[in-house]
Amino acid sequence: MLKHRILVLGTALTLLASGCGPFRSAVQKGDKDFAQGEYQLAIENYQAALAKGKNPGPVNFKLAEAYRLSNRLAQTDQYYKAALDAGVKNDETLFRYGKALKAAGKYEEAAAQLQSYLAVATNRTFIKEAQREVENLKVLPSILNKPSYQLVRPVPGTNTAASEFAPVVREGQLFFSASREETKYLGNGEGFQNIYFVAVADTGSAAPASLRPLEGPGTAPGIHDATPAFTNQGRTMVFARSNSGKKSGRQDVDLYVSQFKTGTWSEATLLSFNENSAWDATPAFSPDGKTLYFSSDRRGGQGGNDIWKTTLDAGGRFSRPENLGPTINTPGNEAFPHVAPDGTLYIASDGHSGLGGLDLFRINGDSVINLGTPINSIGDDFSIFFTETEKGFFASNRAGGQGGDDIYAFEKRQPKLVNFFVDGRVLERNTTTNTTTPMANARVTLQNAQGVKVTEVLSDATGAFTFKLDSASVYSVLGEREGYFAARQSVVTQGKTPPQSELTNPLTEIRLSTTLTLSKIVRNRAIVVENIFYDYDKSDIRPDAAVELDKLVQTLVDNPKITIELSSHTDSRGNDKYNQDLSQRRAQSAVDYIISKGIDPARITARGYGEAQPVVRNAKTEEEHQRNRRTEFKVTRIDE
């Protein structure tokens, strides 16, 4: 839960426990701790109750809620599931289980669970949230598949087994909030939060000598001080402070201000616009220091925690806070605003389409844009701070950290580019000598996968041509010359872009090669169609023959002026009349197949020659008979 980044007392729903004795006592203790917001103690007592083996449904639900409310949502799905299996199938359990599955990165299961819940739901609040989550989950593939070219690495100079978050840079020092105090906050079992700082230059060291707590208002014992924001050249600090956990005094979290004078920070004073019963936290100044953004659950928002802003006048007075509206704020939670040096607003939110808990977003006019991976993860990713245009820090409780929330550095690396080219040559084949020579002035067309022309060139004196290609595409190049059969070759860049890690230069050229060989069209000269085979005594077109006939179809498409005769021949074995009939049926089958692919029937005729035109007369060997069993075509007409 967002509020437990700056922890406060909480209240919660209690469920009746059945039974008596040690089990009942453990549940009652857990309920008391739960009601006081002491979730870690509640967890320990609920787990003790479960060990007694009684009434597991309600206790598992309470255990899941204690983890959720202490900001450990990723640990809750097993307990919500156990509650459901034990018969606790109310609206809240069904809905919370779907949210927990999402927090665990089980997106398909989460969508299925939330849709199942919506089919039986009655609670309007949960229905609206579930509907929003189902729509958000539909957007996930576009977020996950969009490259961001960000390099993310942990900051060893800040991270420990405690929680560290809310990084802010002031005069070469990295300030952050951490739960390192020895006194433990019973809400989550971590220490109370205080403000620390370390030289940015020392953050690469796991134990930097310059690391120390902020003396004065940032280290008050037994209460939470966190999320500092600086203005007035770093001399004014606004930060969040929670109540001490005592029943007396102000509740929730409020914003305080302190001034840096004569080398020390002044006693913190409460800012005028705080509301007694509201959660006001995570402040951030605009670059000019005239606007303060913060998160609050005060009345007048969109639901949950929203981003608000207040302006500072020349006399140092803050205006009445203004909600940033429904484009930025959702019924979920928005917090940790930050205005980058270029004036762009960034927020953390669990209400917009994201990967898990809190995700980081950029506000661009009316668009709220998810920053994608690897900045966002299935965990909570929040409190971003830009030190340069494409560089800075943020916090996350993602897997692989040192414990709780950790601070990470990010830097956008411009992707190394890859340009594809195809270098080709057009050759003329001499069918008598079977030799080739370069062909100049042949028209070469680059076509896309749909056969649409992209561009065309003429081959040069050496027959050469070049095209620039897009990556991840499928092309064909078509060579044409009047009086010659057109030639076509496929060119594919799809799957040929090396990984970024293998590229060593800012720009890499990858050059593919191809050759187009053109032969003169000679009327009535037979051309063998290779690899056209039929099953014994049959004329059906086999799949392997269809592949070869498709090439002939393409030849007719690429040479629209020719009309052909397709002929089939048999060997000399068997009855003459039978061979004649079989060859005619085979030729007609091939022609019917070609016509089925869209070729005008007037452009092709079938002719069976039986054994009348052998290539090898008096054939004796199987190889010689095979040469005689062939399919051929010849051009019978060339239109002008």
Note the pLDDT tens digit of each residue in 97-111: 999 999 888 999 999
Higher pLDDT pick, 536 / 449: 449
Contact 268, 320 (CB under 8 A): no
Which pLDDT score, from 0 to 100, does residue 523 have? 93
**CA–CA gap between residue 636 and residue 616 (Å, rounded):** 24
What is the H or E stretch that residue 254 is in? strand 253-261
pLDDT(456) > 60: yes
Angstrom CA distances, 111 to 92, 381, 514, stand at 16, 22, 48
pLDDT(185) > 80: no
Which pLDDT score, from 0 to 100, does residue 544 have? 84
Among the listed ranges 6-20, 191-205, 240-254, 605-619, which one has the minimum average pLDDT value?
6-20
- For residues 251-274, give the mean pLDDT: 90
- For residues 351-356, give the mean pLDDT: 90
* Beta-sheet pairing, 507-519 with 417-430: parallel
Higher pLDDT pick, 125 / 599: 599
460: confidence class by pLDDT, cuts 50, 70, 90: very high
Among the listed ranges 166-175, 314-323, 588-597, which one has the minimum average pLDDT value?
314-323
pLDDT(9) > 50: no
For 39-93, how does the pLDDT look when each residue is reduced to its tens digit (9 = 90+)?
888 888 888 888 877 678 889 999 999 888 888 887 899 999 998 999 999 999 9
pLDDT(217) > 80: no
**CA–CA gap between residue 617 and residue 178 (Å, rounded):** 94
- For residues 461-479, give the mean pLDDT: 96
**Percentage of the chain modeled with pLDDT above 70:** 94
> What DSSP character marks residue 619?
-
Q: Could you check whether the bond before residue 374 is cis, i.e. omega within 30 degrees of 0?
A: yes
Which pLDDT score, from 0 to 100, does residue 11 have? 32
Q: What are phi and psi of 242, to 5 degrees?
A: -95, 170
pLDDT(305) > 50: yes
pLDDT(186) > 60: yes
- The domains found in the chain, sorted by start residue, are 2-144 (1.25.40.10), 150-412 (2.120.10.30), 417-519 (2.60.40.10), 527-638 (3.30.1330.60)
- For residues 378-391, give the mean pLDDT: 94
Higher pLDDT pick, 465 / 185: 465
Which pLDDT score, from 0 to 100, does residue 380 have? 92
215: confidence class by pLDDT, cuts 50, 70, 90: confident
Which pLDDT score, from 0 to 100, does residue 403 have? 82
pLDDT(8) > 80: no
pLDDT(196) > 90: yes
Q: What is the CA radius of gyration of the chain?
A: 37
pLDDT(5) > 90: no
- For residues 329-349, give the mean pLDDT: 95
Contact 149, 413 (CB under 8 A): yes
Give exposure, 351-380, as e/b (b: 16+ Cβ within 10 Å): bbbbbbbbbbbebeeeebebbbbbbbbbbb
The DSSP code sequence of 119-165 is HH---HHHHHHHHHHHHHHHHHHHHHTS---EEEEE-TTT--SS-EE
**CA–CA gap between residue 142 and residue 17 (Å, rounded):** 45
Neighbouring residues of 424: CB distance < 8 A, sequence distance ≥ 6? 444, 464, 465, 466, 467, 477, 489, 513, 514, 515, 516
**CA–CA gap between residue 294 and residue 324 (Å, rounded):** 10
Which pLDDT score, from 0 to 100, does residue 537 have? 73
pLDDT(513) > 80: yes
Which pLDDT score, from 0 to 100, does residue 1 have? 41
Which pLDDT score, from 0 to 100, does residue 246 have? 54
- Kindly report the pTM of this predicted structure: 0.67
pLDDT(407) > 90: yes
For 539-587, how does the pLDDT look when each residue is reduced to its tens digit (9 = 90+)?
888 888 899 899 999 999 999 999 999 999 988 888 899 999 999 999 9
Task: Give the HSE-up count for residue 251: Cα atoms under 13 Å, Cβ half-sphere.
Answer: 11
Which pLDDT score, from 0 to 100, does residue 17 have? 41
**CA–CA gap between residue 457 and residue 185 (Å, rounded):** 74
For 414-441, how does the pLDDT look when each residue is reduced to its tens digit (9 = 90+)?
888 999 999 999 999 998 899 999 999 9
Which pLDDT score, from 0 to 100, does residue 14 have? 36
Which pLDDT score, from 0 to 100, does residue 12 have? 33
pLDDT(385) > 90: yes
372: confidence class by pLDDT, cuts 50, 70, 90: very high
Instruction: Tell me what the pLDDT averaged over the chain comes to.
Output: 89
The sign one gets for the Cα dihedral 288, 290, 291, 292 is positive
Q: Select from 396, 435, 506, 503 the least CA-distant residue to 154.
A: 396
Which pLDDT score, from 0 to 100, does residue 15 have? 39
